[in-house]
């Protein structure tokens, strides 16, 4: 009964949120100290009366930044996919853990079906496998750990004794550096390989660096290619990189957290060409596919490496069934939430064709934005389609100032990024509820805002 009442409260608050998203698509920017004066977040000994509790909760929700509004271009996730949310809500209600078949039942099979399908899409064979870690950074970490343990399995017992060297492009995600430190490789042992003018990692520079490291007695063991870089959305040349990796027997991991969704689309899957030669791949369905955070996968061409790095016996946990169904033997976590169901409900409801359309539509939205800024002399363009990111500067205006001002004046939520020494605005075309007209309205708002704030800009 309580649950039903709370679900009614949920619907009431959700409707209020939807209205607010229309009326006020960019939440007021308030300093944390001031926000705490507006909201009662304190926890007390006494319970709060139900009506007051509901009002309090609603206020909290409405003051939260709105990532599904048509003015949110700030992050590599956005929007709301109803069928995926249905799956997420049911996963929460069921509250299983995915470590054993005994506790997860058919949910374990849901996860396995997704992993099987994705492995097949990226060209991995029968021995492949994978799991759902907590996010893309953690998926990359698992790739690094498997590579480390393949290089020398005794590291699991003795710790790292040699100087292992990992390679990643200068444009790659910052999880590479953190993961090097967590895994005992060391941040200083990551070589950041120069990118070409498009932002793609250069295979010739990679090979030269590997040769130098070998000549210096070091041990190259891991190359991280990025499929969809965080800022420019660029895809590294996987085939060329895989040839280098094969020559030196180095593990090739693909960080496809952002751009992996092209695997579902016949027109764009060429961007991932060569994925079948990689050893592992990280993919986030919570980015381009719009599944709620988090929905990340690590896939591996030979699942024995997942077991080698992550399995541990535990009599109190594993009490039956084939280990193929006891997924805890392949994960970092013990208790692990069900991140698979929300992806499955989306996929099942729209089919692979529907996932292909999501990707296609995002690239269309991005192209509308790219076409506009490319034809407009006041813009300098840094990104290229196909990419869900649109990187540009307007009239030499400081992008940091512009992004912050647009946010503070509740116009648009958008952020900035950099390539080398150049900083620019990075807008993201990832919300498939947006229409093409929203993409153009973005620029109308930005231009009008700059025109209105001329005086401020001149005084800067």
Contacts with ligand PLP by CB under 6 A lie at 76, 135-137, 173, 175, 226, 228, 230, 255, 257-258, 284, 294, 296
Three-class SS string for 114-165? HHHHHHHHCCCCCCCEEECCCCHHHHHHHHHHHHHHHHCCCHHHHCCCCCEE
Residue (112 or 173) nearer to ligand PLP, CB: 173
Residue (244 or 254) nearer to ligand PLP, CB: 254
Residue (137 or 419) nearer to ligand PLP, CB: 137
Rounded Cα–Cα distance for residues 426 and 416 (Å): 5
Tell me the closest approach of the beta carbon of residue 136 to ligand PLP, in angstroms: 2
**Of 252, 254, 257, which is closest to residue 233 (Cα–Cα)?**
257
**Of 439, 457, 459, which is closest to residue 449 (Cα–Cα)?**
457
Residue 426 three-state SS: strand
Beta bridge pairs of residue 255? 226, 282
Rounded Cα–Cα distance for residues 305 and 333 (Å): 17
Tell me the closest approach of the beta carbon of residue 176 to ligand PLP, in angstroms: 9
Residue (137 or 326) nearer to ligand PLP, CB: 137
Residue (256 or 355) nearer to ligand PLP, CB: 256
**Of 137, 14, 120, 83, which is closest to residue 289 (Cα–Cα)?**
83
Residue (13 or 291) nearer to ligand PLP, CB: 291
Going by C-beta distance under 8 Å and a sequence separation of 6 or more, which residues neighbour residue 13?
54, 57, 58, 61
In order of 230, 280, 431, the CA distances from 76 in angstroms are: 8, 22, 9
Residue (131 or 326) nearer to ligand PLP, CB: 131
* 92 C-beta neighbours (distance < 10 Å), count: 12
Residue (298 or 356) nearer to ligand PLP, CB: 298
Which H or E run contains 20? helix 2-23
Tell me the closest approach of the beta carbon of residue 65 to ligand PLP, in angstroms: 16
Where does residue 437 rank: exposed (0-12), middle (13-18), buried (19+ CB within 10 A)?
exposed
Helices (H), 269-398: 304-310, 340-375
Rounded Cα–Cα distance for residues 29 and 270 (Å): 41
- For the stretch 292-326, what's the b/e string if a residue is b when 16 or more beta carbons lie within 10 angstroms of its beta carbon? bbbbbbbbbbbbebbeebbeeeeeebbeeeeeebb
Tell me the closest approach of the beta carbon of residue 295 to ligand PLP, in angstroms: 9
Tell me the closest approach of the beta carbon of residue 307 to ligand PLP, in angstroms: 24
Tell me the closest approach of the beta carbon of residue 317 to ligand PLP, in angstroms: 27
Residue (104 or 136) nearer to ligand PLP, CB: 136
Tokens of 216: 């210096």
Point out the residue whose Cβ comes nearest to ligand PLP: 136
Tell me the closest approach of the beta carbon of residue 93 to ligand PLP, in angstroms: 24
Tell me the closest approach of the beta carbon of residue 437 to ligand PLP, in angstroms: 27
Residue (27 or 172) nearer to ligand PLP, CB: 172
Tell me the closest approach of the beta carbon of residue 244 to ligand PLP, in angstroms: 20
Q: How many CA atoms, within 13 angstroms, populate the side-chain half-sphere of residue 125?
A: 3
Tell me the closest approach of the beta carbon of residue 230 to ligand PLP, in angstroms: 4
């Amino acid at each position: 009964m309580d649950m039903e009442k709370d679900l009614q409260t949920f619907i009431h608050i959700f409707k209020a949120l939807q209205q607010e998203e229309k009326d006020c698509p960019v939440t007021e920017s308030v300093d944390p100290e001031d926000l705490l004066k507006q909201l009662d977040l304190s926890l007390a000994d006494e319970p709060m009366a139900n009506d007051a509790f509901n009002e309090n909760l609603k206020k909290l929700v409405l003051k939260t930044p709105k990532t599904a509004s048509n003015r949110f271009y700030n992050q590599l996730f956005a929007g709301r996919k109803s069928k995926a949310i249905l799956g997420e809500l049911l996963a929460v209600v069921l509250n299983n853990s995915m470590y054993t078949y005994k506790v997860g039942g058919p949910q374990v099979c849901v996860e396995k079906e997704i992993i099987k399908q994705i492995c097949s899409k990226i060209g991995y064979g029968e021995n492949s496998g994978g799991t759902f870690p907590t996010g893309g950074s953690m998926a990359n970490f698992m790739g690094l750990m498997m590579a480390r343990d393949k290089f020398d399995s005794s590291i699991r017992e003795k710790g790292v004794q040699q100087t292992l060297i990992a390679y990643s492009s200068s444009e790659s995600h910052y999880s590479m550096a953190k993961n090097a430190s967590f895994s005992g490789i060391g941040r200083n042992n990551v070589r950041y390989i120069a990118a070409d003018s498009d932002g793609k990692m250069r295979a010739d520079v990679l090979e030269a660096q590997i040769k130098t490291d070998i000549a210096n007695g070091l041990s190259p063991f891991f190359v991280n290619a990025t499929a969809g870089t965080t800022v420019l959305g660029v895809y590294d040349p996987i085939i060329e990189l895989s040839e280098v990796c094969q020559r030196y027997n180095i593990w090739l991991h693909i960080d496809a957290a952002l751009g992996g969704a092209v695997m579902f689309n016949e027109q764009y899957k060429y961007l991932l060409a060569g994925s079948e030669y990689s050893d592992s791949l990280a993919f986030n369905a919570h980015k381009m596919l719009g599944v709620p955070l988090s929905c990340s996968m690590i896939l591996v061409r030979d699942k024995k490496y997942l077991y080698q790095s992550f399995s541990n016996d535990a009599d109190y946990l594993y009490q039956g069934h084939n280990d193929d169904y006891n997924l805890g033997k392949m994960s970092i976590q013990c208790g692990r939430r069900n991140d698979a169901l929300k992806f499955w409900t989306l996929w099942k409801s729209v089919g692979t064709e529907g996932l292909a359309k999501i990707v296609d539509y995002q690239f269309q939205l991005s192209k509308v934005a790219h076409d506009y800024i490319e034809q407009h002399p006041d813009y300098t363009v840094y990104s290229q389609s196909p990419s869900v990111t649109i990187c540009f500067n307007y009239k030499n205006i400081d992008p940091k100032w512009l992004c912050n001002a647009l946010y503070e004046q509740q116009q648009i939520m958008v952020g900035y990024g950099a390539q080398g020494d150049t900083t620019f605005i990075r807008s993201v075309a990832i919300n498939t509820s947006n229409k093409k007209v929203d993409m153009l309205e973005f620029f109308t708002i930005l231009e009008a805002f700059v025109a209105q704030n001329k005086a401020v800009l001149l005084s800067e």
